[in-house]
Structure 1
Amino acid sequence: MLSDTIDTQQQQQQIHVLFIDSYDSFTYNVVRLIEKQTDISPEVNAVHVTTIHNDTFQSMDQLLPLLPLFDAIVVGPGPGNPNNGVQDMGIISELFQNANGDLDAIPILGICLGFQAMCLAQGAVVSELDTIKHGQVYEMHLNDAARTCGLFRGYPDAFKSTRYHSLHVDAGDNENLLSLCSTEDENGILLMSARVKSKPWFGVQYHPESCCSELGGLLVRNFLTLSLVNNMKTGRWENKKLNGRFSEILSRLDRTIDRDPIYKIKDEYPNGDELTYVKQFEVSKDPKLTFKICDIIEEPKFVMSSSVISENRGEWSIIALPNSRSEVFSHYGAIKKTTIYNWQDKQISYSMLKKCLDGQDSNLPGSLTVVDEDKSQFWVTLGKFMENKVIDNHREIPFIGGLVGILSYEIGQYLACSHHNDDGDDDDSLVPDAKLVFINNSIVINHKEGKLYCISLDDTFSKALEQSLISSFAGKKDSEQGLPWPKYLPEEIDFVITMPDKKDYADAFEKCQDYMHKGDSYEMCLTTQTKVVPSAMIEPWRIFQTLVQKNPAPFSSFFEFNDIIPNQDEKPPVLCFLSTSPERFLKWDADTCELRPIKGTVKKGPQMNLDKATQILKTPKEFGENLMILDLIRNDLYELVPDVRVEEFMSVEEYATVYQLVSVVKAHGLTSASKKTRYSGVDILKHSLPPGSMTGAPKKITVQLLQDKLENKLNRHVNGGARGVYSGVTGYWSVNSNGDWSVNIRCMYSYNGGASWQLGAGGAITVLSTLDGELEEMYAKLESNLQVFI
């Protein structure tokens, strides 16, 4: 349930489940699966799940007094090895090993890690599989005991489920455990489910919550039914009703994991027709029109465009026009500060800004505000700013004004903000983790319908520019012509290209395999960074002109943050970003939120067509990669929204240089009249970062291993090993409650205005990966943008 407080009488008619999470990336898939089981019995009208982490309580002494409130415990999946005890599992180890009193009587369901911990406490052996299974679907077989114990009531003798495990349980002739289910592979016959004979404790090794698992809901419903019957027999059901502090304690426990919305959603928003200027006229449907329009714009501009149109992506282009009324939000994670000021405020110089950030000057010039806050509070600052700017009109247009910009990889959860300048300056305080600008004026183009909109939130759209657009492009539908842009960079300029060392990559690859075999991760997105230094300065826009022709993509972006006017004595460290990304991260409107994870890549070539690529991308390795990220993304959405659906399952899409395996997951019922959630799309954005397709799973431990143990050495030649802009997201949060963000892949970025460029590339490593195969995939992705310089 999503409410913070629950009526006491209503609570007593609910089954209350305590879910213990080990920071897994599939946790909320299980939680929502439990909450959906509402047809348990006439005594029950709903299921309420209270989720805590395995380290929320430091000992069982703190948790034991609360257990009478709960009808059942579910111990979820997670990374680690139960043989390591508290180090990997926190309180879960003590939960099973020191069970006594009421804990003996409370029903428990263990999933994956929870199952292994339960069996280990009963004397079974937990050891590493010879051949590991991550994201693989296998047939499960029930035995006679399963047909009589109730957990698998209504099941056929065999069914399919998804396996994510490096370790397995060997129960042997253990007298405490009753085997229920098994599967068979090259490892032999493996235990997939068991119960503890003397207690109402059950467990499954497979993942019933995966989108490729059959009958997962029935398993959970059967467990809840068994729990209710058990509790009525033992008196636990009646005792729960007599607890006078029921509502207070549950409400407090439900808040142990902070999921406060970034801003409060209103029932109604003002209609902004009087405030919003929109001028529409018909234009060519040619996607190159966006770039032709850019050629006549002399003002600063940010471009989020499509250089190729595909169904449901690349249908719109946006040209955002910052001006002196545009507020600039920059967050510097390394020093936990946010700056806010107006675009190109003449009273603000780089040296002044640096002094204010360093605390050397308390007299803030011009429009400058400096806020002491970490990256979590930065989201609150954005929410407060946007809360009173949301309006209810023109929702059919994706962007009518609002925040646009870049969020780096390190702005995401579980990551340390550890940026470093790449220009020899030891001070890294002015390398932002986030850069967003509020836009009042924009040009928005619907390529599918051939419509162009000039839009202003404050009626300041340039009349001269509008007239120029009308005279140059209005009503002209025959402009399917090539761009008058050079396809190559100037021949006289050389480039020094520094790539990661292949031995370093091989070492990192082997370490990834070690972590996955130990059970720390199912999948690790190992990325590399390449540095390019031109012999002479090339304007970023000039490079972008070549890039969009060399590698056209649905999400092309150009951002040059000239938000501080340079003076003669200094040059601000301008963040530049050029992208031809194929991957949407997250798109939302007032009611729905969509993610399109891409995982699985095949390079195009004379010997590779769509049919052959499809065969390759549907092999167990590629299927497993996509399934793991698909389940991870379902989890990220389910954390906040109860209605999540897989609307496209592993389709093969064709791009300019590669074929890729793509799925579509959509959450429904955000801020609509259905009142299913108190969250908006920006809340999902915050909770989903960094993008799962760029991390692996489970997300928390995987990103920490990548940052602290692997990429800091592999990519030490760029940003001190930090990913920075690469693997972050770029997009907008519009005041009409729309948003669209693409993943920063197939991109290049610079923190010094283009004096040097960084390009990232990588891929998901699983236990089925080979070093040669991953290197080939990484180079294929890198080549899509590196080809500009070679």
Structure 2
Amino acid sequence: MLADTINIKQQQQQLHVLFIDSYDSFTYNVVRLIEQQTKISPEVNAVHVTTIHSDTFQSMAQLQPLLPLFDAIVVGPGPGNPNNGAQDMGIISELFENANGILDAVPILGICLGFQAMCLAQGATVCELDTIKHGQVYEMCLKDEARSCGLFSGYPDTFKSTRYHSLHVNAEGVDNLLPLCSTKDENGTLLMSAQIKHKPWFGVQYHPESCCSELGGLLVSNFLKLSFSNNMKTGRWESKKLNRNFSDILSKLDRTIDRDPIYKIKDEYPSGDKTTYVKQFEVSKDPKLTFEICDIIQEPKFVMSSSVISENRGEWSIIALPNSKSKVFSHYGAIKKTTVYNWQDEKVSYSMLKKCLDGQDLDLHGPLTVIKEDESQFWITLGKFMENRIIDNHREIPFIGGLVGILGYEIGQYVSCNRCGDDEDSHIPDAKLVFINNSVVINHKEGKLYCISLDSTFPVTLEQSLTDNFVLKKDIKKKISWPEYLPKEVDFTITMPDKVDYANAFAKCQDYMHKGDSYEMCLTTQTKVVPSSVIEPWRIFQTLVQKNPAPFSSFFEFNDIVPNQGERPPVLCFLSTSPERFLKWDADTCELRPIKGTVRKGPQMDLFEATKILKTPKEFGENLMILDLIRNDLYELVPDVRVEEFMSVEEYATVYQLVSVVKAHGLTSASKKTRYSGMDILKHSLPPGSMTGAPKKITVQLLQDKIETKLNNHVNGGARGVYSGVTGYWSVNSNGDWSVNIRCMYSYNGGASWQLGAGGAITVLSTLDGELEEMYTKLESNLQIFM
């Protein structure tokens, strides 16, 4: 009873904010910004934010009984047009119309869409801008009235902030609106902030939470101070203390958005010393060593290698060796099933698997497990499998064994798996992962090779062969003896997207962005390549890594089912020379490296010239939008997120790219900052923001349902499939590393046909010719080997 009393007292000392989210991709940037404000008043020891969606409640009548629990409401940014009312904003329009006056005393801050909705309810008009601003930083100018209202206390006369809006508020002649702030551009003088007279209701059009906005924390702090002061005067602060269901109600509200971890992190893990085998050797530092080693490995292998070493990327290579003890997890989103079996188990045939996928119940007695589950439950299956296999050992080595494989685009949030091809499309996995016990791991920076086994079964003959051929030898050939070209006798039929279809898709993107539905849309295309005769995937990979070396090269050939007589199991193959890391984590930190902005290398294009192009408003805006989106994805689960590198230009074999680095800190349970692992962050961050655009939810849905299906109907029924997903590993020592599936090719039929994806971020500053050129530049990096 005493503990409950203390808990209630602590909550009463907190300032409680209700945040209404319209499925925006910057929501948790705002939420964390609110929570970070600690110096509100001596009576307030913390700020607690309860986040709900704009459609969590169907009417104000449902929300009204909960309002006494909250000291303030923040209505966040989001896609859509407030003129469309509940269709685009859910409960927000009714919130501001406030016919019964129940909110007059409740402090409210509206941001972007919230600001527009607030002003519209007061009689202002909301119109489309002539020149739209997405991811652009502008100077804001305070009006005299801003000084007296308190929202901008401590501000200079001008400051810079980021704009993400297609629409603007025209408040001319609306006496009830008090203008506080404005900016100027080609559209003229635009209202950027206002207060509703005689009410504690404020709003800003710009985004104070953006990493390029100045004094965003001060704005939020000022609003919270105004809210506390207002609640003290009106008696709301004291009346809140009388609510005895405080804790239960807030807990239920917090659970309206599912953020349960996929497994429970333990305070301590076993060392695994008795079963884990790790043997270290000195070897050449040449990254081509990985490929030399691959040449002598006759067993099945997955390769995650670097063909070029750069600082903080491409320093390690991993050769994973599946064997009969390796569990294979495949998820089929179109039919909501997961299959689990051992690698090349002779008791599991393709005909058996196909019957199970088609819905026939079989008495299998163990060799094949079929689980009926959707994408969200698939993550739980992986978590349950891994949670008792995690060990606290050799964390300095990125991978010592664990799950490796591919998570396709359709495994991500907001993406449906309704392929529009033939019936066999339902048998295409959208995720495939294999548990690895034995691996060869190479540190190219230090010249160290590790033979590793989780169950002390590392092949003796392989270890001896590695020792005889590579250990302490520094004479790795400068040029590996792999063919630079594919066999001349093989012809290739190449089917690319129609340029007219691309132009129509580009126009649709522009239309949706101008209407305010999206800030940025990653429009992707798929090209199909059919060889006149099948070339071994490993043979293609040999040529690919030479033509387009990259820090995240990958080779996966999933021959996990032994062909029976007369059967030809479909084999998923994936070959990648990706330049982009998506997500890397260890036991304490998590890093994302979004790439946006690409310039082709050439005689007239060096690093200096590329930097000038990549720092133009268009490229800057592309990167900033994805940077803010990724901060949001991390902030949803982890409170400590930092931008460690801001828009650096990196050089690759064929292009220059604009790259940023964002890190989350405090993943360990001992830190008490979060209950989540890197795998939870991966789940909540997919699909990669650099491959979707922002806001992610509506942008993903528009691309999939309205734009890309016709553009790419010649491949996978219009689905992206493996392309735009991620490839990597979850190691049992709590490390993980996943690269984005770009500059890649994949096959669902063992190489009888290949698909190559390429795309780019479309913004309102994009041109059709410019986007086509960028798309072809990216496509050419891998398509060149077939031409």
TM-based fold match above 0.5: yes
Instruction: Give the corresponding residue for 1:185.
Output: 185
User: How far has the Cα of 1:220 moved from its partner?
Assistant: 0.2
Tell me the distance in 1 between the aligned counterparts of 2:780 and 2:6: 55
Preserved contact between residue 596 and residue 619 of structure 2 (Cα < 8 Å)? yes
Instruction: Give the corresponding residue for 1:438.
Output: 435
Tell me the distance in 2 between the aligned counterparts of 1:313 and 1:519: 37
Preserved contact between residue 490 and residue 533 of structure 2 (Cα < 8 Å)? yes
Identity %: 86
Tell me the distance in 2 between the aligned counterparts of 1:414 and 1:309: 35
Choose the corresponding residue for 2:589, options 592, 595, 603.
Answer: 592
Instruction: Give the corresponding residue for 1:700.
Output: 697
Instruction: Give the corresponding residue for 1:558.
Output: 555
Instruction: Give the corresponding residue for 1:227.
Output: 227
Preserved contact between residue 550 and residue 579 of structure 2 (Cα < 8 Å)? yes
Preserved contact between residue 552 and residue 580 of structure 2 (Cα < 8 Å)? yes
Read off the aligned partner of 1:55 and give its amino acid letter: D
Preserved contact between residue 531 and residue 759 of structure 1 (Cα < 8 Å)? yes
2:410 paired with 1:413:
no
SS at match of 2:103: helix
CA RMSD across the alignment: 1.1
Tell me the distance in 1 between the aligned counterparts of 2:785 and 2:64: 62
Instruction: Give the corresponding residue for 2:528.
Output: 531
User: How far has the Cα of 1:606 moved from its partner?
Assistant: 0.9
User: How far has the Cα of 1:366 moved from its partner?
Assistant: 5.0
Question: Which ranges of structure 2 fall in alignment gaps of 5 or more residues?
Answer: none
Instruction: Give the corresponding residue for 2:311.
Output: 311
Tell me the distance in 2 between the aligned counterparts of 1:711 and 1:739: 31
Instruction: Give the corresponding residue for 2:56.
Output: 56
Tell me the distance in 2 between the aligned counterparts of 1:153 and 1:198: 19
Instruction: Give the corresponding residue for 1:512.
Output: 509
SS at match of 1:787: helix
TM-score by length of 1: 0.98
Q: How many residue pairs are counted as aligned between the two chains? A: 784
Read off the aligned partner of 1:502 and give its amino acid letter: K
Instruction: Give the corresponding residue for 1:72.
Output: 72
Read off the aligned partner of 2:404 and give its amino acid letter: V
Superposed, 1:253-652 pairs within 5 Å as 253-364=253-364, 367-419=367-419, 426-652=423-649
Read off the aligned partner of 2:59 and give its amino acid letter: S
User: How far has the Cα of 1:568 moved from its partner?
Assistant: 2.2
User: How far has the Cα of 1:100 moved from its partner?
Assistant: 3.1
User: How far has the Cα of 1:674 moved from its partner?
Assistant: 1.5
TM-score by length of 2: 0.99
SS at match of 1:716: coil
Instruction: Give the corresponding residue for 1:718.
Output: 715
User: How far has the Cα of 1:101 moved from its partner?
Assistant: 4.0
Instruction: Give the corresponding residue for 2:655.
Output: 658
2:680 paired with 1:668:
no
Instruction: Give the corresponding residue for 2:678.
Output: 681
Tell me the distance in 2 between the aligned counterparts of 1:633 and 1:536: 43
Moved over 4 A (4+): none
Question: Which ranges of structure 1 fall in alignment gaps of 5 or more residues?
Answer: none
Aligned CA distance change for structure 1 residues 6 and 393 (closer, same or farther; 3 Å): farther
Aligned CA distance change for structure 1 residues 558 and 493 (closer, same or farther; 3 Å): same
Instruction: Give the corresponding residue for 1:8.
Output: 8
User: How far has the Cα of 1:198 moved from its partner?
Assistant: 2.2
Read off the aligned partner of 2:530 and give its amino acid letter: V
User: How far has the Cα of 1:480 moved from its partner?
Assistant: 4.5
Read off the aligned partner of 1:665 and give its amino acid letter: V
Instruction: Give the corresponding residue for 2:126.
Output: 126
Tell me the alpha carbon deviations over residues 416-435 of structure 1, each in whole angstroms, 9 at most, x when there is no partner.
013466xxx53223200100
Tell me the distance in 1 between the aligned counterparts of 2:53 and 2:115: 17
Instruction: Give the corresponding residue for 2:151.
Output: 151
Read off the aligned partner of 1:362 and give its amino acid letter: L
User: How far has the Cα of 1:102 moved from its partner?
Assistant: 3.5
User: How far has the Cα of 1:158 moved from its partner?
Assistant: 0.2
Tell me the distance in 1 between the aligned counterparts of 2:99 and 2:523: 41
2:28 paired with 1:28:
yes
Tell me the distance in 2 between the aligned counterparts of 1:48 and 1:679: 19
SS at match of 1:601: strand
Superposed, 1:61-100 pairs within 5 Å as 61-100=61-100
Preserved contact between residue 669 and residue 675 of structure 2 (Cα < 8 Å)? no
Read off the aligned partner of 1:367 and give its amino acid letter: P
Aligned CA distance change for structure 1 residues 199 and 46 (closer, same or farther; 3 Å): same
User: How far has the Cα of 1:363 moved from its partner?
Assistant: 1.3
2:768 paired with 1:771:
yes
Tell me the distance in 2 between the aligned counterparts of 1:111 and 1:771: 32
Preserved contact between residue 5 and residue 251 of structure 1 (Cα < 8 Å)? no
Tell me the distance in 2 between the aligned counterparts of 1:700 and 1:392: 37
Preserved contact between residue 336 and residue 373 of structure 1 (Cα < 8 Å)? yes
Tell me the distance in 2 between the aligned counterparts of 1:365 and 1:543: 39
Tell me the distance in 2 between the aligned counterparts of 1:342 and 1:156: 65
Instruction: Give the corresponding residue for 2:39.
Output: 39
Preserved contact between residue 430 and residue 573 of structure 1 (Cα < 8 Å)? no
Preserved contact between residue 178 and residue 196 of structure 1 (Cα < 8 Å)? yes
